[in-house]
Amino acid sequence: DSGAAFLQDGSALYSSDPVSLTTDANCVENGNCDALDINSDHLSSTLTNYAKDWAHPPKCIQSQNGTDKYCLYTHHAFANSRGISIFTTPDKAARLLELPAFTDETAHTKVNSEPDPPYEARSLPGRGIGLIANRTLHKGDHIFSNTPVIMVEEWIFSEFEEAQRLPLQEAAILQLPKGAHDKFMALHGHFGTNPYDDNFNTNAFAIEIWPNDEDETAYNVVMPEISRLNHDCRPNAHYYFDPHTLTHHVHALRTIYPGEELTISYIDPAQALVTRTTALKTSWGFDCACSSCTAPPPHAAASDARIAQLLALQNSLEDHAPLTNPGDGVGAAELLVSLYKQERIEGPVCEAYSLAAHEYASVGDEWSAVKYARLAVESGLLYAGPDGDDVVDMQELLADPKAHWSWRFRERKGAESDEEDEEADEDEDEEGADEVEKMPVEAEKENEEGKEGQFEGAAKLMQRLESERQRLKRKERALDEL
């Protein structure tokens, strides 16, 4: 703990180094920071109460157009002194410090600590190091929770040339406490390039801290323990990131027996065989030999066909595509759940459960809606955590199924279309009537149409928002997997 104090403009003051305050110009031009007089009245008055934070003067780089500045901040006391380096904009660094991850002393009580881990790390032929279960784990069992040792804002990779960003990426690791530094450096890097960059690229996860912000800010983060998990297209474990505590949690997705390797999926598992194997080869350099990727050709073709149908069904249910018969939605949702099961895709199945809950609620079948909402919460908690969209939505349905937005939704939509048809018939009947007589009738009807238009518009907007939300979620997942 350096006793540093953080300023809103991204600079830092150090009680242990009483005359160091970063200046933007020097940071930008030289990649390092000169000292200013800490005792200046002006500077003292800009001090916030973010005392005892950054362990080193922030090092900054400025984008070509000169508008964006990104700085490296290292915090040594973070998460029970594991430490963290963060490469981001000064305003986001200030926002991060306001998270419970930094303000709540209890945020990391059972994090980064493994007194009796349910696995052993072993060297595995053709797969480097992997983690092998040393006892039976049941669905939902916690495996480990860790905080990142490094967080890099994603824009940095597109905004800056390697030569500009790499010195800061190296400094990010060098400035960490020794334990975190050594764990990062011991990681596997498959590209064979600069180890700071290689270990980062091979092991980073994409996460979002403020998903509701207008400008999405994604970070790439590395947790050295979780990085030892090898890939399987039908994995037995999954992770989610809690943005409040900056903690990555891993749980078992199904029963795992002693001697089995713990695995996660590096990519979206609901993709065709060739798409999966190409992505894994390109981004992680290995030929996937999981049972799904090495199935005999007829089985692999059947799997691809199931995945194609799964995706088509999921898209149409998410978009609330019109149905000839409102009851068809539940059949489609049941098939979707079954396709996930046939494909052994255990984590994202929560999305199918949640769609099934909507479809049953939409035709007023409360018991079936509740059954699927329960299943969605059970698997959603492992897949996306307690704040995951499906979990939150399904908890709302469970609290009061008849008050949920999806309750009798298909039937309401059916009634709306019937009314529209009737109105169209009335319009046709009225055509040809006397203009003078027609006027007040039309005026009234226009009024009615105006109202209906508003309601219909609101319903359509709700649907569009919902499908946009789902699309963004899929996009986020795809980015996550990358």
Ligand X SMILES: C[S@@+](CC[C@H](N)C(=O)[O-])C[C@H]1O[C@@H](n2cnc3c(N)ncnc32)[C@H](O)[C@@H]1O
Give contact residues for ligand X (rule: CB under 6 A).
Answer: 126-130, 187-188, 190, 202-203, 227-228, 230-231, 284-286, 288
* Nearest approach, Cβ of residue 469 and ligand X (Å): 30
Residue showing the smallest CB distance to ligand X in the complex: 128
Q: Which lies closer to ligand X via its Cβ, residue 284 or residue 383? A: 284
Per the CB < 8 A criterion, the answer to whether 226 and 251 are in contact is no
* Nearest approach, Cβ of residue 191 and ligand X (Å): 9
Place of tokens 């980062």: 200
* Nearest approach, Cβ of residue 250 and ligand X (Å): 13
Whole-angstrom Cα distance, residue 89 to residue 364? 49
Whole-angstrom Cα distance, residue 474 to residue 454? 30
Written in H, E and C, the secondary structure of 380-417 is: HHHHCCCCCHHHHHHHHHHHCHHHCCCCCHHHHHHHHH
- The separation between CA 221 and the C-alpha centre of its own chain, rounded to angstroms, equals 12
Q: Which lies closer to ligand X via its Cβ, residue 229 or residue 332? A: 229
Q: Which lies closer to ligand X via its Cβ, residue 227 or residue 379? A: 227
Q: Which helix (H) or strand (E) holds 312?
A: helix 297-318
Q: Which helix (H) or strand (E) holds 467?
A: helix 435-481
Q: Which lies closer to ligand X via its Cβ, residue 127 or residue 254? A: 127
* Nearest approach, Cβ of residue 266 and ligand X (Å): 7
Calculate ∠ Cα 307-381-305, nearest 5°: 5
Q: Which lies closer to ligand X via its Cβ, residue 264 or residue 352? A: 264
Q: Dihedral (C-alpha) 149, 154, 157, 158: value to the nearest 10 degrees?
A: 180
* Nearest approach, Cβ of residue 123 and ligand X (Å): 8
Per the CB < 8 A criterion, the answer to whether 231 and 280 are in contact is yes
* Nearest approach, Cβ of residue 38 and ligand X (Å): 43
Whole-angstrom Cα distance, residue 352 to residue 336? 6
Whole-angstrom Cα distance, residue 257 to residue 135? 6
Q: Crossing angle of helices 349-362/409-430, nearest 10°?
A: 50
- The sign one gets for the Cα dihedral 155, 226, 54, 17 is negative
* Nearest approach, Cβ of residue 57 and ligand X (Å): 32
Give the type of residue at 391. V
Q: Which lies closer to ligand X via its Cβ, residue 127 or residue 181? A: 127
Per the CB < 8 A criterion, the answer to whether 246 and 86 are in contact is no
Q: What is the DSSP letter of 432?
A: T
Q: Which lies closer to ligand X via its Cβ, residue 291 or residue 417? A: 291
Q: Which lies closer to ligand X via its Cβ, residue 2 or residue 202? A: 202
* Nearest approach, Cβ of residue 301 and ligand X (Å): 22
Q: Which lies closer to ligand X via its Cβ, residue 128 or residue 331? A: 128
- The separation between CA 194 and the C-alpha centre of its own chain, rounded to angstroms, equals 28
Q: Which lies closer to ligand X via its Cβ, residue 62 or residue 145? A: 145
* Nearest approach, Cβ of residue 303 and ligand X (Å): 17
* Nearest approach, Cβ of residue 102 and ligand X (Å): 27
Q: Which lies closer to ligand X via its Cβ, residue 398 or residue 478? A: 478
Per the CB < 8 A criterion, the answer to whether 250 and 237 are in contact is yes
Q: DSSP string of 231-287?
A: E-SS-SEEEEEETTTTEEEEEESS-B-TTPBPEE-SS-SSS-HHHHHHHHHHHH---
Secondary structure (3-state) at 150: strand
* Nearest approach, Cβ of residue 49 and ligand X (Å): 39
Q: Which lies closer to ligand X via its Cβ, residue 155 or residue 286? A: 286
* Nearest approach, Cβ of residue 190 and ligand X (Å): 4
Per the CB < 8 A criterion, the answer to whether 216 and 208 are in contact is yes
The CA distances from residue 395 to 40, 391, 408, 409, in Å, are: 54, 6, 18, 18
